[in-house]
Amino acid sequence: MVCVTDANIWIDLHNADLLDAAFELDCTWRTPNIVVRDEVLTVDRDMLMNLGLDVRTLSGDELNRILTLNGRYPNPSPKDLSVLVVADVDDGIVVSGDGPLRDAARNEGMTVHGVLWVLDRLVDEAIITKARAATALNAMLQQGARLPEDPVEGRLEDWQSS
């Protein structure tokens, strides 16, 4: 499975000290080069690539598709819309916490997940324990991650009681 990300996923996973764990998932992590270059600013880009992040350069036609999408979806930035183009061309899913980008992806008929899905998969595949997932989620929240309240509370309740 190809998982195409924007910057916020890497920031949240970095804040939770879960970058290594994320690359243990059965997923090809991919992101557009313009996202890595211009938006992944607080996470070591070289480390992400050494862990296995596939940084994808967009073709001229793909850059033109961003402009077309930007006409339909003015709220996500063109850099964020590059995630949609890569996910579409590479038959991937979108992994993002950005609301306007997630909405645009759904409108385009794409599968969309966020960092909570990543945490769920890490727990389900026994890469991390529920206790570590709870600690990680709390660390993300303390660093300012904007996540939906009810799903967060449900996970914390489950993970902290185990």
Q: What is the pLDDT of residues 97-112, one digit of tens each?
A: 999 999 999 999 999 9
CA distances from 52 to 37, 82, 89 (A): 16, 20, 20
pTM of structure? 0.93
Encoded tokens for 125? 């595949």
**Cα–Cα dist 45/38, whole Å:** 11
Percentage of the chain exceeding pLDDT 70? 99
Judge whether 66 and 77 are in contact, CB under 8 Å. Answer: no
CA dihedral 95, 156, 150, 94 (to 10 degrees): 0
Confidence of residue 120 (pLDDT cuts 50, 70, 90): very high
